Structure 1
Amino acid sequence: MILSCDHITSLAPARSFASLMELYENNYIYMRRLVPDVVAVGDEQVSRGEVDLYLRIEELSPYTSTVALTHYFDDNSGRRAHPDLLVRIYHDAQLAEVLPDSALHSFRWTGKGAPPDRRSLAWRWEVNRFLNRWLRYCLGEGHRFPEPGENDLAV
């Protein structure tokens, strides 16, 4: 597909609803690279690396899937998940977003004042921007589900 500059009128303003949808589209692309076939994953899987990445399927349907993504770290209080995100993948719309129900106890609001409501545009911007960067990091580290060759064995 070839795009010319004639088709680009303007970019959506930063932190607008339209630009948030663009971010969701990018998150979908990265999620598809990380999890090319969500059905092939099974219930849970670990991608081994310097820091292991854990994926758990929460819900599968023809149009959406919900997955939990996390790393586990050991500290003085035991094993903790960080970050611990629930990501909804919209297959038909080709979007992916962090759900407000994510266990973001360790997520820090970087804006001014008190953190906004989890359903607000500002909150969605912050956590989905974080997801975008984290997915790029995970892909750069070589993470993928299922790992290449894992499901290539004939039964």
Structure 2
Amino acid sequence: MQRFCHPWATACVLSGRPNVGALMSLCEENFARLSRLVPDLVARPPGVYGSCCSEGVDLYLEVEEQARFTTILRLTYLFPVQGVVLPDPDARLRVYHDARQVEVIDLSQTVLPLRADYRAPALVEKWRANAFIGKWLTYCQRQGRVFGDAPVTPPTFASGARVTLCP
């Protein structure tokens, strides 16, 4: 009998025995999710794009690099906390357009019990990070998130200094 899991249940996200094939399938699913949020990603020039939502904090996507078959981007929320802007979660992703996959390059977040800093992981750590990204992208889709076509200026610190998404 198959066990039922709510899609946001931490135990469900982190359970199972990942293998390379399952990880590749997860990366393909994440590509499909990201493509629904940013259908024209391959054509976007480098810059910061925003997605506003009445139900939550603004979501930012920064296209760092575009190449023929890959895009490197950063996806993050920026939370204003006592004059400081905190990115959380903050993910750096490599999108393989030809293979239709999304790979986590770097992930910093405080939501799930993953490592605080994403470093040269083994298969299990890659699985967990990509599962987190998949759940996050699904959440963004359910909120109806879309990114505008024109680059935006991210919020500023209380001091007036501009927030840099990619330190």
Equivalent pairs counted in the alignment come to 131
In the TM superposition, 1:34-53 aligns within 5 A as: 34-38=37-41, 39-40=43-44, 42-49=46-53, 50-53=56-59
| SS across alignment from 2:71 | strand
Contiguous gaps of at least 5 residues in structure 2: 1-15, 151-167
Q: Are positions 1:91 and 2:91 aligned together?
A: no
> Deviation above 6 Å: which 4+ runs of structure 1?
none
Rounded to whole Å, the distance in 2 between the matches of 1:123 and 1:23 is 13
TM-score normalised according to structure 1 size: 0.74
The answer (yes or no) to whether the contact 1:35–1:146 under 8 Å persists in 2 is no
The SS at the match of 2:99 is coil
> Which residue of the other structure, out of 7, 32, 46, is the alignment partner of 1:29?
32
Q: What are the residue-to-residue correspondences of 1:6-155 with 2, within 5 Å?
A: 14-38=17-41, 39-40=43-44, 42-49=46-53, 50-76=56-82, 78-99=84-105, 102-104=106-108, 106=110, 108-110=112-114, 118-146=120-148
Whether the 8 Å CA contact 2:37–2:147 is kept in 1: the answer is yes
How far, CA to CA, are the matches of 1:134 and 1:21 in structure 2? 18
What displacement does 1:117 show?
5.2
Gaps of 5+ in 1: 1-12, 151-155
Structure 2 Cα separation of the partners of residues 119 and 136 of structure 1: 24
Q: CA deviation at 1:118?
A: 3.1
Identity of aligned residues (%): 31
With the length of structure 2 as denominator, give the TM-score of the two structures.
0.69
**Quick one: distance in 1 between partners of 2:118 and 2:78?**
27
Cα deviation for residue 145 of structure 1 reads 2.2
In the TM superposition, residue 110 of structure 1 has moved relative to its aligned partner by 4.7
More moved, 85-94 vs 37-46:
37-46
1-structure distance, mates of 2:47, 2:118:
33
Q: CA–CA distance in 1 between the matches of 2:66 and 2:48?
A: 13
Contact 1:86–1:98 under 8 Å retained in 2: yes
Tell me the distance in 2 between the aligned counterparts of 1:84 and 1:116. 11
Change (3 A) 1:140 1:41: farther
What's the Cα RMSD here? 2.4
Query: Deviations along 1:33-71, whole A, 9 cap, x unmatched?
Result: 011111236511111113211010011011000110000
Separation (CA, whole Å) in 1 of partners of 2:28 and 2:124? 18
CA radius of gyration, larger in: 1
